[in-house]
A and B are shown apart, each in its own frame.
Chain A
Amino acid sequence: DGGITQSPKYLFRKEGQNVTLSCEQNLNHDAMYWYRQDPGQGLRLIYYSQIVNDFQKGDIAEGYSVSREKKESFPLTVTSAQKNPTAFYLCASIRGHIKQGIKRGMTEAFFGQGTRLTVV
């Protein structure tokens, strides 16, 4: 079955350590996204990538890094520069929709089940 998988589900990190969250999709989707969600809050965009080897900063990119070496994979590294990393992290993928050479907007996005990161 096609889908998007995040791992691990729970992750504990010591202060000062970098940690990498995995996101893999086998939906052949072009675009992938990383979001952060704090308790009782909405989703905030960290980074997104529309094609391989290219990505853009979202609204809260500081302290995070990403790579997009393969279409299926979009790992997120939470660096020691991120001062408050404890949060719920969500990855999403979406197939772009281009009609007659014009970008017409995205089709439905698929989300992973999330990784809950806790700094100890």
Chain B
Amino acid sequence: DAKTTQPNSMESNEEEPVHLPCNHSTISGTDYIHWYRQLPSQGPEYVIHGLTSNVNNRMASLAIAEDRKSSTLILHRATLRDAAVYYCILNGGTSYGKLTFGQGTILTVHP
């Protein structure tokens, strides 16, 4: 299965942009890149996903490298409610159906 690598933790100040990186050097051509986040004692919630092109939604933006070996989740203006664990995962192609999470990145937002 294609794996992802994320930093263990990152910090940001409130109302500043946050760029959360994810490396997936073994990604296959049909793997989608998904991002989820998890608040304490809750189930993860979907943030965004994409295949090749950059994607935007009301929560965040996803920037995908041209070679697709890395991606970046962008929170344009961090708020205290964005403090969570962010997971970057791959799904599709040979790993279709198997949704595997890594350790994720703990994002701390300072007021």
Contacts and interface: CB of A to CB of B under 8 A. Distances in A.
Contacts of A45: 98-101
Contact of A56 (B85, B98, B104): B98
A107 B44 CA distance: 15
Nearest to A98: B96
Interface string A35-53: 1000001111100101000
Interface residues of B, number: 27
B98 A58 contact: yes
A63 interface: no
A103 B34 CA distance: 16
B111 interface: no
13 contacts: A35-B101, A42-B102, A43-B44, A44-B101, A45-B99, A48-B97, A58-B100, A59-B100, A102-B30, A103-B97, A104-B92, A108-B46, A109-B46
Interface of B: 30-32, 34, 36, 41-46, 49, 51, 85, 87, 91-93, 96-104
Given A42-B85, A45-B99, 8 more contacts: A58-B98, A88-B41, A92-B43, A103-B93, A105-B49, A105-B96, A106-B97, A111-B44
